[in-house]
Chains A and B, each alone.
Chain A
């Protein structure tokens, strides 16, 4: 086993050991639990740094397998595959995980389930790293489900809140729907290829042994998994509800890492997806649609976390869109920068919620003075997500625009541009309403959060500013020389036209937000009235939840009620009928047992007569027995 494989396994296993240690030993000692969890993730992070460093200095591929199960010639392994893509994901996951855990020591300080919280976070980190280092389809599915479990446990962490337990269940079941397709895709492709191993499966697909139509079906089925996990339309409904979980969870799982797993999976199996142009188109359009669809909903939400949740949906749509349009590097680059600035946005929102005790942005306002660190770091993240030069989001978004432009998907290109406008508008709406202007009703007792919470914010702010620079042309290390598909791409040049357009669009979104919410030149209330039905539609999230609920209540439950009735009355009815018939038969027969000898004699006589008649008809010869001819 190579040292890199060993490091990869170590990085994944450390948080698992922490989970076991907390559950079995340290559960009662809250500070010890937190310490165990943070040090394990810290070590994991250092290992990830080592792997990233060695990949940057000398890119290489290292793989290793441990037999897990064996049946009839099919190898089912738990393995590890370390290459550039792995190293960047390892870094992101362990880094954000570590910061979120440190942040949680402040945020969750007074919670009774403190130890449990760290145990679950460790379990999540383990599962997520399991996906990242995975080298085969079976393993990715195993860990795919395990991150689903961690997500379920953490969304429902405050299980006594009905909304939280509802949301947890919804997240799991909706993901299951996507995973259904994912599992089928895995079964079909591994059945064809005779192996689960990524590299072998991809080589098999490339060899042309699968006809194009089947390949498209396989690619789309595999993509179902990403639609569920990365919350793409139409399975996006679980993510906004998942905001019922504690905010550090939203930052780590439902913004920076787990929801990016779908994007990562598509990138990991790009060798299969890229073989089917039809599937790539579907992927691009679903991503593009989700991007603009979710951004439009974010325009009118009032809950700070929900706004960010729809923003996450929209940004994930960008990544999927980029991958579908052939922008492999662009999609992964945006995943990276997004992880930093979106984690920052959520942790900042958490800092605000922690101090205010409400999620409603209209009850905040003017918090900048009270919470300067939170406010400034949030502003940095807001600028980054809006794509303002030189913040990180500018560079990654620009690569996506460029990829779209080069791919010739004009409709999708304009969709992305309009989405960028909406993004900068709703993000600045959030920022202005929360931090600027007059102090809101609750702002009086607001206070800056403790260092355990603000330090992670500051670190993430640094990354939100500078992490995009790896995409800047003309410097020695460029992301497109590191994360690429197929042949190494030339560093994407900065197309100045596109850069100007995207900047202009972002700035106009910001300007509009200032006009409405800061200078109040146009009253928000009158806008609501003017837009009327459109506003209602957006406010109600296009009624997607209502449509689903309608089907569950009126179709699904109706079917189950019919089955219940059928089982009780028809299937079991037949059983009881059989029993009844036997009993009735017995009851009738019993009447013949009268106990009177005369009756019996009569019956014997009758029986003999019947027998003789029968013999006479069927076999007259036998009658001689009774003295006949």
Chain B
């Protein structure tokens, strides 16, 4: 099927169409009165679903036997300074584009109950999505940075206006943090631009350059930390718990589900691929830091009582596995890291969706104040249990496939670190099953006796996400082929396999 599909999709500017889809929704929303909430939501949903369907087709159409960049759109823009409209995808990109399509669709569904200024809410959400799609599709570093900023900035308003709790503080903290990251990234990108002497931001041309070793050793950490902040790399992770705790449900879903992956993606593709010698120099140090992420994050989650804090710390721990995979510098670990981005993106989308739905009913997120919810909310409980199992890496879920691949790859590079990382999954089992037990099991609480289970919209949102977790968990063959085809060149550039 792939060849025919690929043939069709390569005749149209499919990448531009996909990333403009949420933007088209924004345009359409301008013409819909904000009072017509139903129309606002339906419009957002329709365009999201179209982008999801197109992302699925794109994923299926990617030819992993050929590998490399495909569906290329290259138009000269500002030739004198090397800014070109250069869109292309490889196996890493199609996976993350698919992830974005899934999360935005589920996120729109999960926002069905937003009643305060829904039009503005969805406009910002969709602008953010445009930015994310753009980052995952462009291979011109200037455009990359542009899309990156488009993705990051709406977050401030979304949390500041629609959030809960100390939302201004959280929004400001998160934005300033990410701005600091952006500053490092722009410095790094300019360094790459001037260091190459080619006067181009086109990624494929920069790939042909071998930067001076000292240059690489200086610029690699600048880029890696810049992107690493967004990936919640320790000790730059504290924006995450506060940010998530204050953010509305869909924003948490998109943020943890997709934005954190932007950071990890940048680390792998921009920093590691372009600066292999710098990467090799810094990887042993980074591998230690990622262990702190994994163990410290999961221990941090044990001590928390607020569901969102627990999930946020759990994300810190799981993103540590992504970063460990990247630091292990071989194609197995890289494959695992990319798959973990995908898996964790969907899983954390589910978690935040479920937490939002639970909070919407019980009006508390404190685990000690809830028990026995499974009685009245069997579907939500079942989804929560399945998500928890994904989180602790149970076979049959995508979490297992991703984590075992990272561990196998990491074991080749850093055996001791890999062993310590595996301890993280025991701690994960401990805290996540504890949450399941406290919130959903035990005798039903009369106070929550009249709570309703998931409604059809919520159910669809959760089922969509769960479908992909199980699909990858049971049949990882295809997605692994796609990912591996495209991480292999990075591993080879690093001098390994």
Contact = CB atoms under 8 A, between A and B. Distances in A.
Contact of A575 (B238, B304, B405, B419): B238
B442 interface: yes
- Ordered nearest first, which 10 A-B pairs have the shortest CB separation? A165-B441, A142-B395, A564-B303, A560-B303, A560-B302, A572-B238, A159-B441, A169-B433, A176-B429, A69-B476
B480 A70 contact: yes
A69 B477 CA distance: 4
Nearest to A573: B238
Nearest to B374: A159
Interface in A33-87: 67-74
Interface string A354-391: 00000000000000000000000000000000000000
B449 interface: no
Interface stretch (A143-151, A199-207, A613-621): A143-151
B287 to A, nearest CB: 16
B300 A176 contact: no
Contacts of B430: 173, 176
B433 A74 contact: no
B238 A559 contact: no
B370 to A, nearest CB: 13
A162 interface: yes
B303 A166 contact: no
Contacts of B434: 169
**Which interface class (under 10, 10 to 19, 20 to 34, 35 or more) fits B?**
35 or more
Contact of B394 (A138, A149, A173, A571): A149
A258 to B, nearest CB: 16
A563 B296 contact: yes
Interface stretch (A177-185, A418-426, A526-534): A177-185
Given A162-B443, A574-B235, A579-B176, 19 more contacts: A68-B476, A68-B477, A71-B332, A71-B335, A71-B480, A72-B497, A73-B497, A74-B332, A138-B404, A146-B394, A165-B437, A168-B437, A176-B430, A180-B422, A191-B411, A563-B300, A563-B303, A564-B303, A571-B235
Of A162, A169, A567, most buried by chain B (CB within 10 Å of CB) is: A567
A156 B441 contact: yes
Of B411, B437, B484, most buried by chain A (CB within 10 Å of CB) is: B437
B146 interface: no
Contacts of B405: 69, 71
Nearest to B429: A176
A564 B304 contact: yes
Interface in A109-144: 138, 141-143
Contact of B299 (A142, A165, A563): A563
B299 A560 contact: yes
A559 B430 CA distance: 14
A172 interface: yes
Interface in A224-240: none
Contact of B477 (A70, A161, A574): A70
A138 B374 CA distance: 33
A160 interface: yes
Contact of A191 (B299, B375, B412, B477): B412
Contacts of A608: none
Contacts of B342: none
A138 B401 CA distance: 11
Contacts of A142: 395-396, 400
A556 B443 CA distance: 27
A187 interface: yes
Contacts of B408: 71, 74, 187, 190-191
A180 B426 contact: yes
A160 B389 contact: no
A93 to B, nearest CB: 19
B252 interface: no
B484 to A, nearest CB: 5
A176 B426 contact: yes
A68 B331 CA distance: 18
B340 interface: no
29 contacts: A69-B476, A70-B480, A71-B331, A71-B484, A72-B330, A72-B335, A149-B389, A152-B433, A160-B372, A160-B443, A160-B444, A166-B437, A169-B433, A176-B426, A176-B430, A180-B423, A183-B422, A184-B422, A187-B407, A187-B411, A191-B411, A560-B300, A560-B302, A563-B300, A563-B303, A567-B300, A571-B235, A579-B173, A579-B176
A552 B172 CA distance: 38
Given A180-B426, A563-B300, A575 B173 contact: yes
Contacts of B481: 70
B418 interface: yes
Contact of A173 (B396, B426, B476, B484): B426
Contact of A187 (B331, B372, B418, B475): B418
Interface string B97-140: 00000000000000000000000000000000000000000000
A564 B300 contact: yes
A72 B331 contact: yes
Nearest to A556: B302
B240 to A, nearest CB: 11
Contacts of B411: 187-188, 191
Contacts of A70: 477, 480-481, 484
Interface in B203-236: 235
Nearest to A570: B235
A151 to B, nearest CB: 12
Interface in B385-432: 389, 392, 394-396, 400-401, 404-405, 407-408, 411-412, 418-419, 422-423, 425-426, 429-430
B429 to A, nearest CB: 5
B440 interface: yes
Nearest to A565: B303
Given A162-B442, A173-B429, A177-B426, A69 B372 contact: no
A609 interface: no
A226 B496 CA distance: 36
Nearest to B483: A71
Contact of B480 (A69, A559, A560): A69
A124 B425 CA distance: 23
Nearest to A68: B477
A25 interface: no
Interface in B71-114: none
A557 interface: yes
A504 interface: no
A557 B433 contact: no
A561 interface: yes
A194 to B, nearest CB: 11
Of A176, A557, A559, A574, most buried by chain B (CB within 10 Å of CB) is: A176
Contacts of A138: 404
Contacts of A165: 437, 441-442
A165 B436 CA distance: 9
Given A72-B497, A142-B395, A177-B426, A561 B437 contact: no
A611 B350 CA distance: 62
A188 B477 CA distance: 23
B167 to A, nearest CB: 16
Contacts of A159: 374, 440-442
A571 B300 CA distance: 13
